[in-house]
Copies of this chain bind each other. A is one copy, B any other.
Amino acid sequence: MTISRGRPRASGPPQSGLGTEEDILRAAAKLFCTVGYGSTSTHAIAREAGLRQSSMYHYFTAKHEILLVLLLGTLAPSIEIAKTLLRSTEPAAVRLWALCLLDVRLLASGPVNLGSLYLLPELGDPNLAEFHMRRAELRDAYRELIAQCDGIRESEASRVADMVLALVESVIMLRRAESNLDIADLAPRIADAALRILDLSPEVVHAARTRAAVLAETLSEPR
């Protein structure tokens, strides 16, 4: 997201200092997650970002383009962490615990609940195919880590990955239902539950949690 390809503004509030494209994305995120995607016009996004609609078209020509960038932005950090973890030599259960914890935290971060965009009925739109490809990439990383855990058959790993992802993404619905969600408490619970689904012994889960908590802090530091 460059600042250089900016255009003169109409007027208006934001000017976050982050550049026009970022202002548009923030405005759209806020409106999509409060007013709703279907009910938000590109005109309303431009106004919220303090731009003329004609200036916004310099950055995005359709609403679904903005949605796609927002959706991809929710996945990118998790995919990066997953790739780092796939290369690590830590035990698979440790790496899976760390991935669950960090993924829950990412979904819970930011001023608005961007994960709720995953639930939009509009997500079948072929224009959003890249999101589904990238999400499949993240799911594959989960599947691969799960397949590397003791006692998991390769043929089972895919269904187990669906269940683990459902647990991780449950934070989206919880965040919608509870305004004061305690993520510091919830994230490790979800990571524990994910490992239990794999039918690992309580000792393995406990050992993985202790070691993974340290690993997770290393990974979540700014790189």
Give the A interface residue count (CB, 8 A): 26
Which residues A30-57 have CB closer than 8 A to chain B?
Answer: 36-39
Measured between beta carbons, the chain B residues less than 8 angstroms from A202 are 199
B196 in contact with A197 (CB, 8 Å): yes
Smallest beta-carbon distance A153→chain B, Å:
13
Q: State in angstroms the CA–CA spacing of A199 and B166 once bound together.
A: 18
Which A55-88 residues sit within 8 Å CB-CB of chain B?
none
Say yes or no: A166-B173 contact (C-beta < 8 A), given A196-B197, A196-B199, A197-B197.
yes
Known: A199-B202, A202-B199. A121 touches B37 (CB 8 A): yes
Assembled-state Cα–Cα distance A176/B169 (Å):
15
Q: Which of B162, B189, B199 contacts A174 (CB 8 A)?
A: B162
Instruction: With both chains docked as a complex, state the minimum distance between the C-beta of A151 and any C-beta of chain B, in angstroms.
Output: 11
Interface residues of A in 127-157 (CB under 8 A from B): none
Q: A220 near B: Cβ within 8 Å?
A: no
Q: Name the B residues within 8 Å of A167 (CB-CB).
A: 163, 166-167
Q: Which residue of B lies closest to A124 (CB)?
A: B176
A166 to B107, CA, bound (A): 15
A193 within 8 A of B: yes
Q: With A and B bound together, what is the CA distance between A199 and B209 in angstroms?
A: 15
Q: Is the CB of A189 within 8 A of B166?
A: no
Residues of B within 8 A of A163 (CB): 167, 170, 189-190, 193
Q: Which residues of A contact B (CB under 8 A)?
A: 36-39, 116, 119-122, 159, 162-163, 166-167, 169-170, 173-174, 186, 189-190, 193, 196-197, 199, 202
The 8 closest A-B pairs by CB, nearest first: A166-B170, A119-B119, A38-B38, A36-B121, A193-B197, A196-B196, A163-B193, A196-B197
**Could you list 27 A-B pairs, sorted by A, with CB under 8 Å?**
A36-B38, A36-B122, A38-B38, A38-B39, A116-B121, A119-B119, A119-B120, A119-B121, A120-B121, A159-B186, A159-B189, A162-B174, A163-B167, A163-B170, A163-B189, A163-B190, A163-B193, A166-B166, A166-B167, A166-B169, A166-B170, A166-B173, A193-B197, A196-B196, A196-B197, A196-B199, A199-B202
